Amino acid sequence: MATVTNWIDHLSAAEVQGAIYPGVGTEGVLVIIALIIWIGWHVLQDRAESEHLSQLARKKHGANDHKSNITEW
Amino acid sequence: MTDQLGALTTIFTEFYYWITVVLMFLIHVGFCMYEVGASRYKHHQHTLMKNTMLIPLVTVTWFLFGWWIYWAFPTGPGLAPSIMNESAALITDESAFSAKWYVPTSDLMAVNLGDHISGVFWAAFLLFSWTAASIVSGAVIERITTFAFGILAIAIGSVFWTIDAAWGWHFDGWMLKLLGYHDAYASGVIHAIAGGFALGILIVLGPRIGKFSSSGEPRNIGPRNPWLVTIGLFLIYTGFWGFYAACNIPIFDLGPEYGMEGVTYWTATNIYVTPTTLSGITMNFLMSLSGGLLAGYLISGKDPFWTYSSGLAGIICASAGNDLYHPIQSMIIAMIGVVVAYKMHYWVERKFKIDDAVGAVAVHGYAGVAGLIICGFVLNGYPSSGYSVGAMWVGTDYAPINPLGMFIGAIIMFVILGLIPGWIIAKILHGMGKLRIPRDVEIAGLDYNLLEASRNDEKAVSSSTR
């Protein structure tokens, strides 16, 4: 996985390789993982929010009911 | 890097943009404080989290495709050939400034010893993206779902503003060539588009419950914590310093760049590679802030919320030409922008029943549009780009800055890339039943469950004896 194992060899090469992160060449896989995390986050967030909103809506609290929940200013 | 002067120039530039990114972070801190201060207690935490979560959403999508759009779209595509490859197609060839290098799989989109600039430049633009999304966030508080806002934040932050930046804020942009568009510190490319986008959403989203009486008269739902609003706006001003610096190229030798044989001319430039000075734009920033505050104080009758917002509106209005204006011109333009923004806000609110909770459409949208139009008159005849010098573009000469071109540019920013996409995406989300929170939740407050849980926790703690 290591792209660089010896800095002296790396920097004294005729042409210094710029990319030094681990796993050079695996960027495509990393991007697919990022896409899954991004889209997956929306799916999970939407599911949680819909559940929260419908639960709260069912209770039909009044506009000032939240004030009884305020413990300290 | 093997020669010392080249290394110093590169690492100075790298550090310069890095500092601007840190300063611009304060814009987001300010927006979060400002929005929470403007919202009612029962919505506070939701309001905060909605704005905070745009940071990761816009950042990830900016990495995946937003940055690529900026480099790919300067030609339209199809509207004007590039000065780099003479093609009007998307710029994805092998040329130096091609989008090809900024796909997420590129090895330049990471730690790379051969490139010290792309990452900080990417980050500076990303912070502009957060700002665009955050402007929209304030307008829609207390009734939009976090899901819908996330989608809309990505749309404005990683798609539409970056298209406008490619068109009108790139040295190769077609709007410079054909319209003579000039927008040095983003009156249009950030503020007008974000204001227009917010207005498009607000038309579909509707007002908060209670905002308008049964006869249609608007009611004031003023900021609940004016101190938080005040500090928030001060922080936005502070971050704006970084924003201005980030819009410049700090050090550039224009002689060879313009093809002038034997001429060396080192200077700072704006994003269009025409010369300006960090010194001069600092004067203009402060004079336009002052003009905005002076006008806002008078027109709003000493209202702190509007006076502070007017300082911002003043800067925004003068920003298009603040690379070249005289400081007094800058101050006067700022004052005009504030009057336009303030009057338009209340007229639109009353006439069209638009509930813009923080005046974002006015401060960013109307002031930005006014700034672009004024710039067309005041800077009429100046070159719109460094590359209009000589025969660098094969099409014809770049159009100079002119009133008509700037007016069309303002329409493109506010309406075509702002209002229309905002309206369409909001309509789709509304059709899916995902745009607005249920009525009962809006009345109860988005934080009801959190507050109830806190009360129960507190009750358990306070009744315990050990």
Residue B43 located in a structural domain: yes
Residue A28 burial by CB count (10 A; 0-12/13-18/19+): exposed, middle or buried? exposed
Residue B25 located in a structural domain: yes
Collapsing DSSP to helix, strand or coil, B110 comes out as coil
Residue A49 located in a structural domain: yes
Residue A37 located in a structural domain: yes
Listed by number, the residues of chain B in 113-142 with a beta carbon closer than 8 Å to a beta carbon of chain A are: 113-115
* pLDDT confidence of residue B360: 97
Query: Looking at the predicted structure, is the pLDDT value of residue B391 above 50?
Result: no
Distance, in angstroms, between A6 CA and closest chain B CA?
15
**Mean pLDDT, range B322-346, rounded to an integer:** 98
CATH number at residue B303: 1.10.3430.10
Residue A47 located in a structural domain: yes
- Find chain B residues with C-beta within 8 A of A35's C-beta: 64
The parts of chain A modelled with pLDDT lower than 50 are: none
- Find chain B residues with C-beta within 8 A of A56's C-beta: 438, 440-441, 444, 448-449
* pLDDT confidence of residue B228: 94
Per-residue model confidence as pLDDT tens digits over A7-17: 999 999 998 89
Residue range(s) defining the domain that contains residue A35: 25-59
pLDDT band at B319 (very low <50, low <70, confident <90, very high): very high
Residue B465 located in a structural domain: no
**Mean pLDDT, range B236-263, rounded to an integer:** 92
| One-letter identity of residue B225 | N
pTM over 0.90: yes
Instruction: Tell me if B448 and A37 make a contact (CB, 8 A cut-off).
Output: no
Query: Looking at the predicted structure, is the pLDDT value of residue B388 above 80?
Result: no
Distance, in angstroms, between A1 CA and closest chain B CA?
15
Distance, in angstroms, between A63 CA and closest chain B CA?
5
- Number of domains comprising chain A: 1
Q: Which residue in chain A is spatially nearest to B458 when comparing CA positions?
A: A71
pLDDT band at B396 (very low <50, low <70, confident <90, very high): low
Instruction: Tell me if A21 and B111 make a contact (CB, 8 A cut-off).
Output: yes
Q: Give dist(CA B285, CA B238) in Å, integer.
A: 11
Going by C-alpha positions, the residue among B61, B57, B60, B87 that lies closest to residue B72 is B87
Consecutive H or E run containing B51? helix B44-61
pLDDT band at B185 (very low <50, low <70, confident <90, very high): very high
Distance, in angstroms, between B108 CA and closest chain A CA?
7
Per-residue CA distances from B377 to B124, B215, B329, B371 (Å):
30, 42, 12, 10
Residue B165 located in a structural domain: yes
Q: Which residue in chain B is spatially nearest to A19 when comparing CA positions?
A: B112
* pLDDT confidence of residue B112: 95
Token pair of B166, please? 């490619």
Chain A touched by B221 (CB under 8 Å):
no
- Site from A16, A56, A68, A72 to mutate, B interface, most B CB atoms within 10 angstroms: A56
* pLDDT confidence of residue A72: 63
Parallel, antiparallel or unpaired: strands B249-253 and B275-276: unpaired
Instruction: Tell me if B445 and A59 make a contact (CB, 8 A cut-off).
Output: no
Sheet holding B266-269, edge to edge: B249-253, B266-269, B275-276
Residue A9 located in a structural domain: no
Rounded mean pLDDT of chain A?
91
Residue A38 located in a structural domain: yes
Rounded mean pLDDT of chain B?
94
Going by C-alpha positions, the residue among B465, B359, B442 that lies closest to residue B138 is B359
- Find chain B residues with C-beta within 8 A of A62's C-beta: 443-444
Instruction: Tell me if B105 and A62 make a contact (CB, 8 A cut-off).
Output: no
Q: Which residue in chain A is spatially nearest to B43 when comparing CA positions?
A: A66
Residue range(s) defining the domain that contains residue B359: 4-457
Indicate the residue of A21, A62, A71 with minimum beta-carbon distance to B458: A71
Q: Which residue in chain A is spatially nearest to B60 when comparing CA positions?
A: A38
Q: Does this complex have an ipTM over 0.95?
A: no
Q: Give dist(CA B442, CA B436) in Å, integer.
A: 9
Indicate the residue of A18, A63, A69 with minimum beta-carbon distance to B115: A18
* pLDDT confidence of residue B461: 84
Residue A73 located in a structural domain: no
- Number of domains comprising chain B: 1
CA angle B103, B108, B112 (to 5 degrees): 160
Percent of chain B with pLDDT strictly greater than 70? 97
Q: Give dist(CA B419, CA A60) in Å, integer.
A: 35
Chain A touched by B225 (CB under 8 Å):
no
Per-residue model confidence as pLDDT tens digits over B340-371: 999 999 999 999 999 999 999 999 999 999 99
Instruction: Tell me if A54 and B438 make a contact (CB, 8 A cut-off).
Output: yes
Chain A touched by B444 (CB under 8 Å):
yes
Q: Which residues are CB-contacts of B464 (< 8 A; sequence separation ≥ 6)? A: none
Residue A31 located in a structural domain: yes
Indicate the residue of A38, A63, A69 with minimum beta-carbon distance to B60: A38
Indicate the residue of A49, A58, A69 with minimum beta-carbon distance to B451: A69
Residue A5 located in a structural domain: no
Query: Looking at the predicted structure, is the pLDDT value of residue B423 above 90?
Result: yes
Indicate the residue of B57, B64, B145 with minimum beta-carbon distance to A35: B64
Residue A39 burial by CB count (10 A; 0-12/13-18/19+): exposed, middle or buried? exposed
* pLDDT confidence of residue A61: 87
More confident residue, B312 or B80: B312
